[in-house]
Amino acid sequence: MLLNISFHFDFIPLLVVVAVAWLAPILLSLLKVKNVPSVIVEIIMGYIIGVYFFVSRTGSDFHILEFLATAGFIFIMFLSGLEIDVDQIISSFPKKKTARSVFKNAFILGLAYFALVVILSYLSTFFLSRFIVIPHRWYFALIMVTTSVGIVLPVLKGRGELSSSYGQMIIIAAAVADVLSIILFTFTAFILRNGFKFELLYILIVFFAFYIFYRITGWLRHVMLFKRLFYQLSHAASQIRVRSSILIMLIFVGISQYIGEEVILLGAFLSGLLLSTLLHKERSVLMIKLDGMGYGFFIPIFFIMVGIMFEPSALKDFDSSILIFLVMLLLVMFTIKIIPSFLWIKMFGPRKAIAGGFLMSSQLSLIIAASVIGLQLGVVTPAINASFILMAVLTCLIAPVLFNWIYPVDITEGEKTIIIGGSSTAVLLARRMDIHGKKVIIVEKDNKRFQEIKEKGLVVFEGDGLDEEIYRKIKLLKDNFVVVETGDDEQNLKIASILKGDFSHDKIITRSDKMSFAEKFTQLGVKSIDRHRIFATAIENFILRPTTYNDLVETFENYTVEEIFITNSQIDGMQVKDVPFPDGALLILIKREKSFFIPHGETYFKLGDILHVLGTPTALENVISRVQAR
C-alpha cells in the first residue's frame, strides 16, 4: 500500500502562526528595540491572534499546532541543556582545599546562591499567601527560583563579560540554578502526580541512561569507522550529526515518557546536557544548526501558543487584590534573587553584585513550562498561571535594563579597536570584528554618515581624527589598535602623524594607494596595507588554492585563525602532546621571537610563544583559557 498523503488539513492556522514568528524579530529590528527577547513579542502577538483569529480552539488543525508547540517545548529544554557548558562547570570545581579558595569558587558560590534563593522563595510564599490562596506552596516556590540562561548569556556577551571572573560567576550560578531547579521540578511533579512511592526511583533510570549513553557515545567517538562515517555524512543531505542529536533527544524523551509525563522535562534537558559533555568546545557549529531548527520553527510556535492560550480573564479570580498581588509577586521575584547576590559583594563590590542579582531575576522558558505543568497537575490555578506568564514577560523586560542601569558599561574602557573614518570598509571591518566578540569604536566627522552608521547599531563617535580631543574622549590606550581609514592618503598620513607624534602610539594600521605614501608610512613606523597587493594576493589564492581559500572565507563565522600568547607559567616547558587541545581547534604554527616552526607532539612550549590556532570561536576560547594566566 502506498503512503497515504492527505491535503485535507487546513494550513491557514499554521501559516498565521509562522507568519507571526517571522514578523516578531523584524518588528524588534524596525523599532530598534534592544535587549528585548523576540519571544516576548511572540507571546504578545500570540495573544492578539488568539483573540481575533483562533476563536475556536478545537479540531484537528488546532491539535497539530498543539503538537508542534509541545515539540517546541521539548526543544527548549533540549537546547537549555546544550547551552550548559559542562567543561566550564567542571573547571570551576575547587582545586585547592583552603577555606579562601573554596569560598571564592564559582561553583561553590553558585550552589550557595541557589540554596539561598530556594529558602527565600519558600518563605516568600507565606507572605504572598496573605493576598491569594496558594494550593501548593513548595511548587509555587520552585516556579520562582527558575532563571533564564538564554537571557543571561546574551546580556553578558554584549557587555564583553563572558570571559571575566564576574561573568563566569554569574554564568555558573545560572547554570547551576537551571540544572538543580529542573531536577527539583521533576521529583516534585512526580510525587504530586503519583505520591511518595517506590516508583519515584524510576526517575533514576533517566540518569542511568545518561551515564550509559555517555560511556557508549564516548567510546564510539574514538572508533575509526564511526569517525570516518560521521565525517563523510556530516554535510549535504545526510547531516548525520543533526540526526544523531535529534535521535538522542527523542530516546531520552521516550524513556522519560514511560516513567511519567512530568519526567519528559528532565529527559529533554539531560539529552542536551549529554551532547554538551560529548561535543565539548566543537559544539558551536552543531548548535548553529540545532538553533536553526529550534528557534527557526518549533520554539516560536510554543511561545505563540502560550500567548494564544493566555487567559487574562483568569486574573479576575483575585478580585480586588489582583494589582497588589501582581506588584508583590514581581517584587518578591526580584528580592529572592538580589539578596543572595550579596555573596558576591566581597569579590566584585556592591554595585556589580546587586546588578548580577537583577540579571539573575530574568525568567522565561522554564517559568512558563513549570507553571503550565503545575496547571495540569492542579497545584497551580489558571489565575496563578496567568500571573507567572506576565512575570516572565516583565522580568525579561526589566532585568536587563536594571542590570545595565546599575552597572553601566563604558564602551570606551578597556580593550578596543578604533577606526578613524566611517567608510564602507570600516563598517565591514567593525562587523567582522564583532563576530570575534571584539569591541570597535568608529570615529566619523560627517554628521550624515555618522547617523547612518549609528542606525546600523555600531558604536560611533562624531569627531575629526585630526582633533586630539577625540582621542581623549574615547580614552585611547597604548594597547588599542587604531585603523586610519578616511579614504584619502594625505588625510591618513596627517592623522597617523598626530597619533605617533602627540600620543606616541605604535599600533596604527592604514592603507595606501600610492607608493610614495607607502614609503612615508614606513618611515613613520606605521603599518600600511597596499590595496592593489591585497587584491592581487586574493586573485592568486583563487587561482592556486581555490578550495582552501574559498572554504576559509565561507566558514569565517565558524572557523578563524587566532594568535594566542602563552602567559600561563604552568604551560612553560610542557610538550604539545601534554596540553589537551579541544576537538574544534588545531595548532598550526608557533612563533618564538622571530622564528616560525610547525609544531609536533614533542615540541616544547615556552612563555611568550605566539600560537597560531585554527578553530571555532568556543574552541579558541578554551585554548586561551588553558595557555593564558588568569
Tens digits of residue pLDDT in 115-146:
999 999 999 999 888 888 888 889 899 888 88
Domain boundaries, the chain: 12-406, 417-538, 558-627
Q: What is the mean pLDDT of residues 252-259?
A: 87
**Polymer length of the chain:** 630
Task: Name the β-bridge partners of 611.
Answer: 564, 590
Tell me the per-residue pLDDT of 540-563, one tens digit each, with 9 for 90 and over: 776 776 666 665 655 555 567 778
User: Across residues 89-110, what is the average pLDDT?
Assistant: 66
For position 171, what pLDDT does the model report? 80
pLDDT digit string, tens, across residues 25-84 = 888 777 766 666 777 888 888 888 888 887 666 666 778 888 888 888 888 888 877 777
* Orientation angle between helical segments 264-279 and 283-293, nearest 10 degrees: 150
pLDDT band at 332 (very low <50, low <70, confident <90, very high): very high
Q: What is the per-residue pLDDT for 125?
A: 92
Distance (Å, whole) CA 17 – CA 306: 12
**Cα 278–Cα 142–Cα 390 angle in degrees, nearest 5:** 100
Predicted pLDDT of residue 548: 64
Asked whether 627 and 602 are in contact (CB, 8 A), the reply is no
Burial of 73 by CB count in 10 Å (0-12 exposed, 13-18 middle, 19+ buried)?
A: buried
Architecture of domain 417-538: 3-Layer(aba) Sandwich (3.40)
User: For 379, which DSSP code?
Assistant: S
pLDDT at 412 over 80: no
For residues 291-301, average pLDDT? 85
Higher pLDDT, 541 or 178: 178
Q: Same CATH fold, 558-627 and 417-538?
A: no
Q: Which CATH class is domain 12-406?
A: mainly alpha
The reported pLDDT for the residue numbered 393 is 83
Classify domain 558-627 by CATH number: 3.30.70.1450
Q: Residue 601: which residues within 8 A CB-CB, separation 6 or more?
A: 575, 576, 577
When mean pLDDT is compared over 260-274, 346-360, 507-521, the highest value belongs to 346-360
pLDDT given at position 281: 46
Please report the pLDDT score of residue 1 as a whole number: 46
Sequence-distant (6+) residues with CB within 8 A of 439 are 160, 411, 414, 415, 416, 417, 459
Q: Between 149-158 and 165-194, two packed helices, what is the crossing angle to 10 degrees?
A: 170
- At residue 117, the pLDDT reads 93
Around 329, how many Cα atoms within 13 Å sit in the side-chain half-sphere?
26
User: What average pLDDT does this structure show over 215-231?
Assistant: 69
Model confidence band, residue 336 (pLDDT cutoffs 50, 70, 90):
very high
